[in-house]
Amino acid sequence: MDINGAASAFGALSQKTRLDVFRLLIAAGPEGMSAGDIGETLGVRQNTMSANLSVLLQAGLVRNTREGRTVRYFADLGGTSALLTFLMSDCCGGHPELCSQVIESITCRKT
């Protein structure tokens, strides 16, 4: 990811509803969620949710698939990984061991 892609991703995440959607889809995992379920969960009207999902799609942070008349959305882990890699690529001035706390804090753990 280059700086323009990162700026686009951060721009998409700079609005509360879109950040809530992104976090919800990260938590939903590989099953994702239908657009209707996302809107219902967050209390957002369909047309507003559609516009927000479009911004996240454009930024490469979510992906979707059509299932009949329903559209299911997923966090795009490739885009998310690219954004995190962009942020951490020059970690700690060439001392990556100093970044281990950050890396550990974002590592998924089973509880």
**CATH code: domain of residue 64:** 1.10.10.10
| C-alpha distances out from residue 13 to 10, 91, 98, 108, Å | 5, 22, 27, 21
Residue 111 — pLDDT band, cuts 50, 70, 90? low
Q: Is residue 110 part of a domain?
A: no
* Full domain range(s) for residue 11: 3-105
Q: 87 lies in a domain?
A: yes
The pLDDT-based confidence of 82 (bands split at 50, 70, 90) is: very high
Whole-Å CA distances, 40 to 1, 13, 17, 19, 52:
32, 20, 12, 16, 14
Q: What is the pTM of this model?
A: 0.85
Q: Could you tell me the CA-to-CA distances from 66 to 35, 71, 94 in Å, in that order?
A: 10, 4, 44
Pick the closest to residue 60 from 82, 44, 42 (CA basis): 82
Asked if residues 91 and 84 have their Cβ atoms less than 8 Å apart, the reply is no
Residue 111 within a domain: no
- The pLDDT tens digits of the residues spanning 3-58 come to 999 999 999 999 999 999 999 999 999 999 999 999 999 999 999 999 999 999 99
